[in-house]
Amino acid sequence: MKSVNATFQLAEERYASLGVNVRTALEQLAVLPISLHCWQGDDVGGFEHSGSELGGGLAVTGNYPGKARTPAELRADLDKALSLIPGRHRVNLHACYAETDGQKVDRDALEPAHFEQWIAWAQEHQLGLDFNPTYFAHPKAADGFTLAHRDAGIRKFWIEHGLRCRKIGAAMGKATGSPCVTNFWIPDGWKDTPADRSTPRELLTDSLDAIFKPTLPAKYHLDAVEPKLFGIGSESYVVGSHEFYLGYAITRQTLLCLDSGHYHPTESIADKISSVLQFLPEILLHVSRGVRWDSDHVVTGNDDLHAIAREVVANGYAERVHLGLDYFDASINRIAAWTIGTRNFQRALLTALLEPPVIRLAEAAGDTTSRLAFQEETRTLPLGAVWDQYCAENDVPVRESWLAEVKRHEREVLAKRATA
């Protein structure tokens, strides 16, 4: 597209006038993979068809037609989304997306073989894989407790699930040649004020220690733990709170997963990144968007997102921060949901990569007037022209033209999926 290129050249000059090399920024963006969460494609359904409710405080609202019903459909939908997103990325799977060939395989019996087709698909498309044990949508999680359950038998079941998921993650990392981050999130908590806040946390510590006991090679596999402030049905107490997992991750040197929908509405994870990275080698981000009670709206290009991306880039943390998305919206086209959120995150990263050095220099010189002036003036720099050029060079639809492709695909493919 000629107009894209002409506008890009003008933008390049404008950035250069502020000491920013646009080409360098684009090269850096190209090596920032984002882990696309498979569960946006089927409303966190998975393929066990066990009849268990989602539970765990996870709620997906909406009934937009055309959701993926099979692993093949989910992979095809991910292929579609990835074809609309520039760059090479990763896919984040959950244990409940196992393919068991019609056999009932419980969570404590899962093996790498049940993810063979996902792995083959990832290899074929040169995608990295990340993984999550599934501690919800299961009869043994129905009362809201798993690894912190008072019943030793239930804990044992879920410990075995965790052990197996780490092995599966390591197999994914080995096969794809890129370390798989296996992220542990559990729903355990109370709706009402607990009488004992400590026992469940002691139990959780022991369960996690049993799960993380076997060492796995870091070149294939990394462990992460994900805190949460509250959930639906666990409003008064969450066993795996922020402080719990911060302490756990630091003492056990696992990754900490910061989910941007898991804190107080005005509390941003952006400010936590440089704090926790003083004490942890690496972290994982679940970039999401909280709205009132829900923590999982499609990521939009808001200030919070920009602040998160900026912290990663401005501090030179790209190597230490694993970038992932986590939201689920069943009220709009699900492929569009992936595309919108991922493209937004990339644009926020690009904005950060294109930040003029004068802002930091002003601060270092004690000139806070200039810092604020440049922070505000640079908001209207021609980011769009650079982004359009990046899309064009990566052979993905430029500007809003991806939407027409999603609509065409919806008519030709999604509309033909019978609604279950």
Catalytic residue chosen out of the listed positions 226, 282, 304, 329: 226
291 and 257 Cβ atoms separated by less than 8 Å: no
Structure tokens given for 300: 């939009």
**CA atoms of 331 and 122, how far apart (whole Å):** 28
Catalytic residue chosen out of the listed positions 228, 242, 306, 409: 228
Mask of contacts with ligand RNT, 100-139, x by CB under 6 A?
--------------------------------x-------
Measured from the Cβ of residue 24, the count of other Cβ atoms closer than 10 Å reads 11
Q: Is 228 a catalytic residue?
A: yes
Mask of contacts with ligand RNT, 213-232, x by CB under 6 A?
-------------x-x----
Site for Zn ion in 316-355 (CB under 5 A): 326
| Residue reference for tokens 């095809």 | 76
100 and 112 Cβ atoms separated by less than 8 Å: no
Nearest distance in Å: CB 325, ligand RNT? 10
Smaller CB separation from Zn ion, 290 or 382: 290
Q: Which of 327, 326, 305, 337 is nearest to 81 (CA)?
A: 337
Taking CA atoms, 109 is separated from 53, 101, 262, in Å, by 21, 14, 30
Q: Which does 228 bind (CB under 5 to 8 A by kind): Zn ion, ligand RNT, none?
A: ligand RNT
Q: Which of 384, 401, 348 is nearest to 7 (CA)?
A: 384
Smaller CB separation from Zn ion, 287 or 414: 287
| Eight-state DSSP code of residue 129 | E
Instruction: Look at phi and psi of residue 324 and say left if phi exceeds 0, alpha if psi is from -120 to 50, else beta.
Output: beta
Q: Which of 308, 271, 314, 275 is nearest to 289 (CA)?
A: 308
Which listed residue (286, 306, 322, 409) binds Zn ion by CB under 5 A? 286
- The footprint of ligand RNT on this chain (CB under 6 A) covers a number of residues equal to 9
Contact status: 39 vs ligand RNT (CB under 6 A): yes
Q: Which does 335 bind (CB under 5 to 8 A by kind): Zn ion, ligand RNT, none?
A: none
Q: Is 326 a catalytic residue?
A: yes
Contact status: 228 vs Zn ion (CB under 5 A): no
Which listed residue (42, 43, 130, 259) binds Zn ion by CB under 5 A? 259
DSSP string, 77-100: HHHHHHTTS-S--EEEEEGGG---
Site for ligand RNT in 324-343 (CB under 6 A): 326
- Tell me the catalytic residues: 185, 226, 228, 259, 262, 286, 294, 296, 326
Q: Which residues of this protein are in contact with Zn ion, per CB under 5 A?
A: 259, 286, 326
Q: Which residues of this protein are in contact with ligand RNT, per CB under 6 A?
A: 39, 44, 132, 185, 226, 228, 259, 286, 326
